[in-house]
Chain A
Amino acid sequence: MIMSEKCKQHVDSCRFCWMCHHICPIGNATGQERNTARARALGISLVNREAIDLSEIMDNIFECCTCGACVHDCVTGWDPVMFTKETRLQAALEGKLPEYINTLVANCLETGNAYGKTETCEALTEAIKVHADKKDTLLFLGVDAKFMVCKQALKAIKVLDKAGVDFTVLENEAPSGVQLDFLIGAANETKAQMEACAKALGEFKTVVVYDPNDAKAIKQLYKEYGIEVNADVVTYTSFVAGLLRDGRLEAKNTGKAVVFQDPYQLSRDLEETEEAREIVMSYAVLGEMLLNRAETVWAGNILMAQYMPEIIKKVASRRIFNATSIGADTIVTASVSEYASLKAVAANVEILSIEDLILGE
């Protein structure tokens, strides 16, 4: 397998290192030894030494959620996410992607989203029409919210409406490219999607990105790809926290006790941890799980649930256990994808989005 020297160095360092064994949300949920950074590195290193075929490790390579918990935990700075993504790219180039991944990639290329969806729910379609006129501010919903959790997308719009924000929502929103980046890494197709999206975003003065996954892509990954966005890009949480500070949204603390699930894209990648807390504390009483902020534990997503639904349920259940073990009965999320994952398995615990809290729904 062709692999950059940098990645090979990281692979060969991680293959015999167990130090982040405790931190992988997938590994902790499944109890499978292969769901560790060192197992993936060992597999790749053996592929590099022609002791095993790339196709034999690819399922495992796609079991990584790329949340970066292992990267964050490593005191030396080794980066399992980097070599995992490069391996995905190489597998794509060598035609060795698993079939279920090929399907998702094909969907991304044909429809802009891995789910192959072309239509949103009726209420969201109407709401988008209402905000079709070009304004200075764009609310970027992202494919997960738009196609898979449209009720939350609708609420995201309602919150900005409530604050009297004048904004646009695009009917034909370009995909951020974050799904392709996850599936096949830095391929030409990924870059092309990102460039098209950046161009569309550049038409606006301010872009408010609803989904932290898209926010990570646009604010961080685009720079790595050498793509510029000629707009002020802000996360939804930081924008809404600003609306509260400016008095455009009214704080109304109900005294409800909640814990906050930090999306790793915000807390680890974009180092944004307090804005969401400002919002939560305006409407509820905030408690903290032991692993919070940059130490957060990923709670699942919609994309991986397409090909490993049972594992994603286990991941979400384990995070709910973290909350309930400290006595919490309500979890607030700022990630539409984690919201969907947690909601799918929540039995004795309430899952709320930031928007739910603000709207009192």
Chain B
Amino acid sequence: MNYQMNEFLFAMILTELEDAVGKENCSTRAIDRVTHSVDYYWLSRMWADRGCRMPEADIVVCPENAQEVSKVLKIANYYKIPVTTWGAGGGTQGGAIPVAGGIVLDTKRMNKIYEVNTEGMYIECGTGAIYKHIEWAANEVGKATMHYPSSLTCSTVGGFLAHRGIGVVSTKYGKIDDMVLKMEVVLPNGDIIETCSAPKHAAGPDLNQIFIGSEGTLGVITKAQIRIFDQPEERRFRGFLFQDMHGAFQASRELLQKFKPSVMRLYDEAETASLIKKIVGVERKGAFMNIAYEGVKEMVEVEEKILLETFAKYGAEDLGSEYGEKWWKEKITFFYPGHMMDIPQMFGTMDTIAPYGKIEEIYWAMKEAIETNFPQAKFIAHFSHWYEWGAMIYDRFIVEGKDVPEDPVEALRLHQAIWTCGVRTALAHGAVVNDHHGVGIKLGRLMKEQYGPAMQVFEGLKKTLDPNGIMNPFKLGL
């Protein structure tokens, strides 16, 4: 805004927004503003824990469809009011926090399931649908979405798309960007567009992939066709213990040249000794790895044989199916308060990804950088999404409450310093800013460091599509 907002103008704008989405879907109440000011981002949680109010939107609007989103964006553009899109607030990067005030556009009324298509194998839904709800819709017809992140129950379809999310069976079924056939998007100027009717084509660059991961900075994704799959005839688990992670990497790389398991999860020794011991019950020293393989029964039999032979070559101790099954049952338990890190601890997940030639080096470099520069921080990691060419590190730092400054600004400064150190180290060794949590306000400053002159592609898109810069300001480094 390049003018001073005043009570009269505010009231005028409010009536226009109420006209666009209905009075009952437009709120200035404290509870709505507060609720949309704290997401899963540690800094917003810490700020609230210290009794401080995070930056709040002035108005929370809840449109029902693309047409209403279009009206809101036209109003926002005219008055040059910031618009921050909110799914369910489960993001860890502060991407949904309305740091510049203005409008929060909550998408959850756009939760309609328009079609469950078992021929084309997709569900068409509003992006405000909680992902678990479309999983239920798939289950009702005997299918599954195969997108099972720990935030399955607390994130919307749009939230996963905006931040390029991923689930635990990604190695076989893919990331959220592999799950989408087609999307409807409202551009910042209010135009409603549709991407191609099929995701694989040669009709120019893939429009889907321009908006997936754009974190609400280039428009609002309002509808999507999400892939569904047949339920596997059989899903089997096998737990292994490696003496060191090097063997696990070698074994996994070879395995992935032969077939794709659904779950591949390797825990470093520190995480095996803490979380895995506590929740899965593995009490042995080493690096625990869980593998799931699924599909047609005959294929699963063959895959099991290949798995056991391959992992035996690299000295993996076969722990049988029990721990793996327990892990599957408890896969979301890890993230409940009481099991997960929580305030007063300070923590963060610096997930990153790289090819096999670099991934081990990155892990050790990040561990050393964090533990050397911040001796109060503990570094734990697992590797949970694997490809034929590389893997991702889900590495976390934890600072115990006694070492976290009580002063919120001092706590913020320490948090920022650890993040900058960790991600810069990752970048210096050939990794990327983030694997699947997104960028948000947390990592925006590091985007230019990663992309260099390539950043101008994003900036050009932003300038063209959102010349007034109203869409989710200060996120994604844009």
Q: Which of B50, B108, B110, B335 is within 8 Å of A33, CB to CB?
A: B108
Across the interface, which residues of A come within 8 angstroms of B137, CB to CB?
325
Which residues in chain A, 8-37, are within 8 Å of chain B measured between CB atoms? 12-23, 28, 30-34
Across the interface, which residues of A come within 8 angstroms of B108, CB to CB?
31-33
Across the interface, which residues of A come within 8 angstroms of B53, CB to CB?
46, 51-52
A 342-359 binary contact with B (CB < 8 Å = 1; else 0): 000000000000000000
Tell me whether A39 and B35 are in contact (CB under 8 A).
yes
Tell me whether A19 and B332 are in contact (CB under 8 A).
yes
Which residues in chain B, 311-357, are within 8 Å of chain A measured between CB atoms? 332-333, 335-339, 342-343
- Taking each of B133, B153, B332, which has the highest tally of chain A beta carbons within 10 Å of its own beta carbon? B153
Q: Which of B40, B51, B110 is within 8 Å of A51, CB to CB?
A: B51
Determine whether B1 belongs to the interface, using a CB cutoff of 8 Å to chain A. no
Across the interface, which residues of A come within 8 angstroms of B153, CB to CB?
18-23, 73
| A and B contact pairs by CB, cutoff 8 A, 11 listed | A13-B338, A15-B48, A18-B155, A19-B154, A19-B336, A28-B133, A75-B333, A76-B337, A290-B140, A310-B24, A325-B137
- A-side interface mostly: loop
Tell me the bound Cα distance from A28 to B133 in angstroms: 10
Across the interface, which residues of A come within 8 angstroms of B86, CB to CB?
33
A74 to chain B, nearest CB (A): 7
Across the interface, which residues of B come within 8 angstroms of A17, CB to CB?
336-337
Across the interface, which residues of B come within 8 angstroms of A73, CB to CB?
153
Across the interface, which residues of A come within 8 angstroms of B30, CB to CB?
52, 56-57
Tell me whether B336 and A75 are in contact (CB under 8 A).
yes
Q: Which B residue's beta carbon lies closest to that of A55?
A: B30
- Taking each of B31, B108, B338, which has the highest tally of chain A beta carbons within 10 Å of its own beta carbon? B31
Tell me the bound Cα distance from A310 to B24 in angstroms: 10
Tell me whether A76 and B62 are in contact (CB under 8 A).
no
Report if A16-B35 is in contact (Cβ < 8 Å); known contacts: A21-B130, A31-B62, A33-B89: no
Tell me whether A43 and B52 are in contact (CB under 8 A).
no
Tell me the bound Cα distance from A258 to B296 in angstroms: 34
Report if A76-B336 is in contact (Cβ < 8 Å); known contacts: A43-B34, A59-B31: yes
Tell me whether A21 and B31 are in contact (CB under 8 A).
no
Tell me the bound Cα distance from A17 to B338 in angstroms: 11
In the complex, how many residues of chain A place their beta carbon closer than 8 angstroms to a beta carbon of chain B? 41
A 62-86 binary contact with B (CB < 8 Å = 1; else 0): 0000000000011110100000000
Across the interface, which residues of B come within 8 angstroms of A310, CB to CB?
24
Tell me the bound Cα distance from A221 to B133 in angstroms: 32
Beyond contacts A18-B89, A18-B154, A290-B139: 8 other A-B pairs, Cβ-Cβ < 8 A, are A14-B337, A21-B88, A21-B130, A23-B153, A33-B86, A33-B106, A46-B34, A52-B53
Point out residues on B near A: beta carbons under 8 Å.
Answer: 24, 29-32, 34-36, 38, 40, 45, 48-53, 60, 62, 86, 88-90, 106, 108-111, 128, 130, 132-133, 136-137, 139-140, 151, 153-155, 332-333, 335-339, 342-343
Q: Which A residue's beta carbon lies closest to that of B338?
A: A76
Across the interface, which residues of A come within 8 angstroms of B35, CB to CB?
33-34, 39, 42-43
Point out residues on A near B: beta carbons under 8 Å.
Answer: 12-23, 28, 30-34, 39, 42-43, 45-46, 49-52, 56-57, 59-60, 73-76, 78, 290-291, 310, 325-326
Across the interface, which residues of B come within 8 angstroms of A78, CB to CB?
337-338
Tell me whether B154 and A13 are in contact (CB under 8 A).
no
Q: Which B residue's beta carbon lies closest to that of A53?
A: B30
Tell me whether A16 and B62 are in contact (CB under 8 A).
no
Tell me whether B337 and A33 are in contact (CB under 8 A).
no
Q: 5 closest Cβ contacts across the A-B interface?
A: A18-B154, A49-B51, A31-B108, A31-B109, A21-B154
Across the interface, which residues of B come within 8 angstroms of A14, CB to CB?
337
Across the interface, which residues of B come within 8 angstroms of A34, CB to CB?
31-32, 35
Q: Which B residue's beta carbon lies closest to that of A327?
A: B140
Across the interface, which residues of A come within 8 angstroms of B29, CB to CB?
56, 59
Tell me whether B62 and A18 are in contact (CB under 8 A).
no
Across the interface, which residues of A come within 8 angstroms of B88, CB to CB?
18, 21, 33
Tell me the bound Cα distance from A138 to B32 in angstroms: 47
A51 to chain B, nearest CB (A): 5
Tell me whether A42 and B337 are in contact (CB under 8 A).
no
Tell me the bound Cα distance from A197 to B239 in angstroms: 57
Across the interface, which residues of B come within 8 angstroms of A74, CB to CB?
336
Report if A18-B31 is in contact (Cβ < 8 Å); known contacts: A49-B51, A290-B139: no
Across the interface, which residues of A come within 8 angstroms of B111, CB to CB?
28, 31
Across the interface, which residues of B come within 8 angstroms of A18, CB to CB?
40, 88-90, 151, 153-155
Q: Which B residue's beta carbon lies closest to that of A14?
A: B337
Tell me whether B31 and A43 are in contact (CB under 8 A).
yes
Tell me the bound Cα distance from A310 to B130 in angstroms: 22
B162 to chain A, nearest CB (A): 16
A87 to chain B, nearest CB (A): 13
A277 to chain B, nearest CB (A): 20
Tell me whether A31 and B128 are in contact (CB under 8 A).
yes
Tell me whether A16 and B130 are in contact (CB under 8 A).
no
